[in-house]
């Protein structure tokens, strides 16, 4: 459609590169940005421009951080002997939100996915094993996603961690809070039964 | 959560200002942008920075355009005697996509909404009336949305256009294509009956 001015078309094209943003949403966002004062667009542009310069990976846990080591790795009130392994930074934020974990993290930055050409070497797995080998770690809590690649990555980690004197745990898999058992999928229900907890 | 580095937090804040983007989506988008090469973020930033400078309102129809008059207003193959009045630029794009309208447009940039303090003076209504008065217009097709404020704005326009010797039409209201009549809401069905077409 040549009725869309090229600069607007360009913005729509850039926005559709983002995950979950299709052409219709991108058009709506672009028109919204255009209708609002230029200051808003400039402020967003500035934040985007400086983003990659101001954020780096923590050299210990590989979280995104302004400083190295990151806020969590440099916090002495946290238990540095318990490492929670997650696929990505979004998972770290979700776990932090619960306020239930007081250890530190290790971010893999992906999962093993042979079809996409991602093997253990493309992830921060070697760095995790070195961390377990070289520092005083008591427990590694594996918190990869409950998906096929997440589970496969978890199994790979479990296999490779067995050479070290460290406790390896996984997040419990079971029925969600507030969930009706008759609506739970059979795989989850099977895992909830297999992992049933003992109160006796 | 102080675990989110401030520059990332800032980007999330900027993104949540966009319509339909909540904190969770904004976080997902921001992390995605951060994971991808800086070039992508810089390219989006550049497009955003130049957007408002390179796009203006067409002084005839008030569409967003790189040039004044816009592509549609300067297209002599279009029928300049038929003006389609829409609320916003997104509506114009939707109508253009149908390839069913060959006239020109007039963009109101909003609807009358007393609760939000938007009266006829805040919209491009005076400009529409002047355009009908001063140029050779045969038909004004009112294509405001089928919402309460859209209908009210349409009625206001119909009242004010009656002083000119111009045909005023509205988009047909009725059952959507592929829709099952028993699932149509009663207001739409009532309008479809009232506006029934004669094939005899």
List, for residues A7-34, the tens digit of each pLDDT value. Answer: 999 999 999 999 999 999 999 999 999 9
In a domain, A179, yes or no: no
Confidence of residue A105 (pLDDT cuts 50, 70, 90): very high
**H/E run at residue B64:** strand B64-65
Beta carbon pairs, A and B, within 8 Å: 164
Residues 42-101 of B with CB under 8 A from A: 42-55, 63-66, 70-72, 88-90, 92-93, 96-97
Total structural domains in chain A? 2
B164 shares its domain with B110: yes
pLDDT per position as a tens digit, B130-169: 999 999 999 999 999 988 899 999 999 999 999 999 999 9
Identify the CA nearest to A12 among candidates A36, A28, B97, A42. A28
Instruction: For residue B64, give the nearest of A8, A10, A109 by CB distance.
Output: A8
The confidence score (pLDDT) of residue A171 equals: 87
Distances (CA, A) of A167 to A81, A83, B66: 11, 10, 63
pLDDT of residue A18: 95
Please list every residue in chain B whose beta carbon sits closer than 8 Å to the beta carbon of residue A46. 45
My answer on whether B49 and B124 are in the same domain is: no
In this structure, of A117-121, A194-198, B166-170, the range with the lowest mean pLDDT score is A194-198
Query: Which structural domain range is residue A17 located in?
Result: 6-54
* A147 domain residue, yes or no: yes
> Please, how many CA atoms are within 13 Å of residue A99, restricted to the half-sphere of its CB?
2
Same domain, yes or no: A97 and A164? yes
Reported ipTM = 0.76
Give a yes or no: residue A133 inside a domain. yes
Percentage with pLDDT > 90 across chain B:
72
Tell me which chain A residue has its CA closest to the CA of residue B58: A5
pLDDT for B194 equals 81
How confident is the model at residue B46, as a pLDDT? 93
User: With an 8 Å Cβ cutoff, are B34 and A52 in contact?
Assistant: yes
pLDDT digits (tens, 9 = 90+) for A166-184: 999 988 888 888 788 788 8
Asked whether residue A63 is domain-assigned, the answer is no
| pLDDT value of residue A2 | 66
A22 and chain B in contact, CB less than 8 A: no
Asked if residue B86 and residue B47 are part of one domain, the reply reads no
Measuring CA to CA, how many Å separate B38 from each of A44, A88, A136? 15, 18, 36
| Together in a domain, A78 and A148 | yes
In a domain, B177, yes or no: no
CATH assignment at residue B134: 3.40.1360.10
Residue A1 has pLDDT above 50, yes or no: no
Q: Residue B127: which pLDDT band, with cuts at 50, 70 and 90?
A: very high
Q: How far is CA B42 from each of CA A49, A52, A140, A151, B25, rounded to the nearest angstrom? A: 5, 9, 38, 36, 21
Q: CA–CA separation, B139 vs B166, rounded Å?
A: 6
pLDDT of amino acid B49: 93
B44 with B85, same domain: the answer is: no
Is the CB of A27 less than 8 angstroms away from the CB of B66?
A: no
The per-residue pLDDT for range A128-142, each reduced to its tens digit, is: 999 999 999 999 999
In a domain, A132, yes or no: yes
For residue A47, what is the nearest residue in chain B, using CA coordinates?
B11
How far apart are the CA of A99 and the nearest CA of chain B, in angstroms? 10
Same domain, B44 and B127: no
Residues B84, B122 within the same domain:
yes
> Do A77 and A38 lie in a common domain?
no
Closest CA to A167 of A193, A138, A197: A138
Same domain, residue pair B84 and B166: yes
Do the Cβ atoms of A25 and B20 come within 8 Å? yes
Shortest CB distance from A6 goes to which of B49, B52, B66?
B66
Question: Does residue A22 sit in the same domain as residue A112?
Answer: no
Residues 6+ apart with CB under 8 A from B143: B84, B85, B86, B91, B95, B170, B171
CA distance B150 to chain A (A): 19
- Please state, in angstroms and as integers, the Cα–Cα distance from residue B195 to each residue in B61, B167, B191, following that order: 30, 18, 6
Residues B90 and B160 in one domain: yes
Q: Provide the CATH number for the domain around residue B34.
A: 1.10.8.420
């Amino acid at each position: 459609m040549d009725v869309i001015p090229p600069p607007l078309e360009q913005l729509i094209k850039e926005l559709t590169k983002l995950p979950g943003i299709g052409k219709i949403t991108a058009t709506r966002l672009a028109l919204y940005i255009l209708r609002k004062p230029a200051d808003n667009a400039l402020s967003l542009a500035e934040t985007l421009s400086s983003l990659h310069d101001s954020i780096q990976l923590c050299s210990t846990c590989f979280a995104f951080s302004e400083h190295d080591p990151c806020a969590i790795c440099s916090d002495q009130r946290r238990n540095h002997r318990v490492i929670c392994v997650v696929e990505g930074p979004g998972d770290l934020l979700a776990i932090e939100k619960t306020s239930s974990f007081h250890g530190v993290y290790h971010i893999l930055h992906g999962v093993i996915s042979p079809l996409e050409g991602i093997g253990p070497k493309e992830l921060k797995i070697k760095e995790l094993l070195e961390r377990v080998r070289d520092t005083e770690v008591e427990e590694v809590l594996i918190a990869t996603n409950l998906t096929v690649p997440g589970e496969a990555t978890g199994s790979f980690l479990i296999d490779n961690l067995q050479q070290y004197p460290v406790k390896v745990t996984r997040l419990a898999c079971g029925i969600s809070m507030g969930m009706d058992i008759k609506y739970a999928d059979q795989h989850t229900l099977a895992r909830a039964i297999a992992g049933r907890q003992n109160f006796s």
